[in-house]
Amino acid sequence: MTPPSSDLLNIFIVYFTNFINYVVSIIELFMVFEQKQDSMKKTLEASLPKPPQREKKKLFPDSNLFAHWGENLSDDDQKEAQALFQQYGYNVFLSDRLPLDRVLPDTRDPRCATKKYPKDLPSIGVVLIYFNEALSVIKRAIRSIIDRTPKHLLKEIIMVDDHSTNENLKGDLDMYVKSIEKQNPDLRIIRVKHPKQRGLAQARISGWRAATADVVAVLDAHIEVHELWAEPLLTQIQADRTVVVSPVFDKVKYDDLSVSPYLPASHAFDWALWCMYESFMPEWYKLNDTSLPGKSPSVMGIFVADRKYLGEIGVLDGGMHIYGGENVELGIRVWTCGGSIEVVPCSRIAHIERHHKPYMPDLSFAMKRNALRVAEVWMDGYKHNVNLAWNLPFKDHGIDIGDVSERKKLREKLKCKPFKWYLDNVYPMLDSWDNIVSYGGMKNINATMCIDQGPVPGHTPIAYGCFYYLPQHTFYRTSGELYIGGLKSHKYNDNRCLTDDGNKDNEPGLYNCKEAMQKGMGIYWDFTQGKEMKNRQTKRCLEIINKKLIIQECTGQRWEMQNIIEAL
């Protein structure tokens, strides 16, 4: 008799289930076998000696670009990165591979995050100055400004091209700007192109002329703005239209483009007019709040100001060449003509610090000329301190500073205070150098050699062939001190004095003047141009015997200083 269909189905299910279980068990056996095989293989491989790993060779071991970056780059990538580094002074190879909207660390004082700013702030126009800048760097600057500036405040971006020659700053940049305009139809983007290179001051003036916003921010193109960069600056200007403000700059390292915060500090300068950071006035530190704005003698070059006010006080000196001095000129002019300058710590801008400036490897000539121009217009009786700093004669220095008559008329029109007021009230830490009577190289007429500071560090001056650069710069004061190896611009720094401590080995010394005085060394000398150099304390003379600088009983050797201010 045939079993019912339901029984047949059950029998089938039982047999099928057993078959499936059998197959699964076979597969599991194979998997266990393979795992054991893999384990044995790894054990065997571990027991065998490993072939040596080939290290990537550094093709440019002396390049600053590769000192802390680029370990795993191929040879071709190293060559490309080095070529771009030499061309731009920073790591364009890496910049081209970073997001245009990369996130920046918040480097502000935590108290900045709690501050509230008015909604009805003035509109702002941002001026970007560039000359043969890397395309990706310019793009990142524009992107950061658009993304991190409130749309109702950002009226315009003015791009000033100081006669760039790079091809990708033509078509490629044009295409990027057009895409930005499509994405931001309410934002004005203005292009200004110079037919020839005019320098920083003229480029910034061109940007100011093209601007229409209430406030103009004059920036470099190798920057990235942080979140809430504009509001703190605009708030200060809204409260006082005569204040020129600057953010705190964070350092973008030229090699790995990482961001390092700088502490808030004022922007200042030395007598050569090189810019530098300086402490705020003591009153700022007593407030114990590093989120508060601090007064500053000058600006570093990046600044933000009421557009109309900046025009009223003469914008910048268009007679400046290429680079340098225009920031100090603006600082002195703003302060002495009724305004003020502040650094605002709650505003931060990340700024690429170049390793070198490719457009002018040696900035000294342009800087020297511009410094003399500033001195002639603004520094009154202190103008010759710039000559001292650059070791230039007061007259007939051979440098054409251009026509300054219009700038002098501007100073009269604005009824600006004298430079002494600026030294006394704004920048009292700048040493006025009142009693220098001669300076430059000091030559022994008999031996036809000069005093030189000798090895540094070290405390022994030497006789050396005259070449009249910094190691041989000497300065003689009416009080009798003779400084060797430069003259410090600030009161808190000590100069190095020529000394005679009366030692029997007859060697002169070179020590910080305060230290030498404390140790009782003879630091005061009698000197008359063309005659001997005698120590007032020991009555011995500075002389050169067999090409060696010594101190001994006077034999009548004569000295002469390169530049004389007052008859000696």
Query: 366-396: per-residue pLDDT in tens?
Result: 999 999 999 999 999 999 999 999 999 998 9
pLDDT at residue 59 greater than cutoff 60 = yes
User: Residue 182: is its pLDDT beyond 90?
Assistant: yes
Instruction: Give the pLDDT of residue 359.
Output: 74
Work out the number of other CB atoms within 10 angstroms of the CB of residue 71.
Answer: 9
Specify the range with the lowest mean pLDDT, choosing from 121-130, 361-370, 515-524.
361-370
Strands 188-193 and 154-161: parallel
- Reported as a pLDDT band with limits 50, 70 and 90, residue 2 is very low
Out of 11-20, 231-240, 274-283, 308-317, least confident range: 11-20
- Number of other residues whose CB lies within 10 A of the CB of residue 339: 22
Q: How confident is the model at residue 186 (pLDDT cuts 50, 70, 90)?
A: very high
The predicted pLDDT at position 34 comes to 56
Q: Is the pLDDT of residue 8 over 60?
A: no
Residue 362: predicted pLDDT: 82
Q: Rounded CA gap, 213 and 207, in Å?
A: 12
pLDDT of residue 291: 98
Is the pLDDT assigned to residue 70 strictly greater than 90? yes
**540 secondary structure, DSSP code:** -
- Pair type for strands 340-352 and 243-252: parallel
pLDDT at 43: 45
pLDDT at res. 568: 63
Global confidence as pTM: 0.88
pLDDT of residue 410: 98
pLDDT value at residue 1:
46
pLDDT, position 44:
43
* Model confidence at 74: pLDDT above 70: yes
φ, ψ of residue 545 to 5 degrees: the values are -125, 125
| For helices 326-336 and 200-210, angle between their N-to-C axes, nearest 10 degrees | 60
Cβ contacts of residue 507 below 8 Å, gap of 6+?
460, 550, 551
pLDDT top residue among 161 and 44: 161
- Read off the tokens for 542: 């500075």
pLDDT in tens, 162-172: 999 999 999 99
Q: If pLDDT is split at 50, 70 and 90, which confidence band does 121 have?
A: very high
Q: What is the pLDDT of residue 567?
A: 72
Determine the pLDDT at residue 102. Answer: 98
Please report, for residues 299, 388, 439, 451, 550, the alpha-carbon distance to residue 470 in angstroms, rounded to integers and kept in the order given. Answer: 27, 12, 12, 11, 21
Amino acid identity, position 1: M
Q: What is the pLDDT averaged over residues 444-460? A: 97
- What's the whole-number mean pLDDT along residues 491-507? 93
| Predicted pLDDT of residue 56 | 72
pLDDT digits (tens, 9 = 90+) for 407-443: 999 999 999 999 999 999 999 999 999 899 999 999 9
**Residue-level pLDDT at 47:** 47
Residue 143: the pLDDT is 98
Which residues, listed in sequence order, are joined to residue 130 by a DSSP beta bridge?
A: 161
Give the residue ranges of DSSP H helices in 264-396.
Answer: 282-286, 307-312, 326-336, 364-378, 384-390
What does the DSSP 8-state code read for residue 89?
Answer: S
> Percentage of the chain surpassing pLDDT 70?
90
Per-state percent for the chain, helix, strand, coil, to nearest 5: 35, 20, 45
Q: ∠ at Cα 197 (194, 202), nearest 5°?
A: 75
Query: What is residue 164's predicted lDDT score, i.e. its pLDDT?
Result: 97
Find all residues with CB under 8 Å of 470, minimum gap 6, and list them.
Answer: 485, 486
DSSP class of residue 338? T
Contact between 279 and 265 under an 8 Å Cβ cutoff? The reply is yes
Pull the structure tokens for residue 5: 């269909």
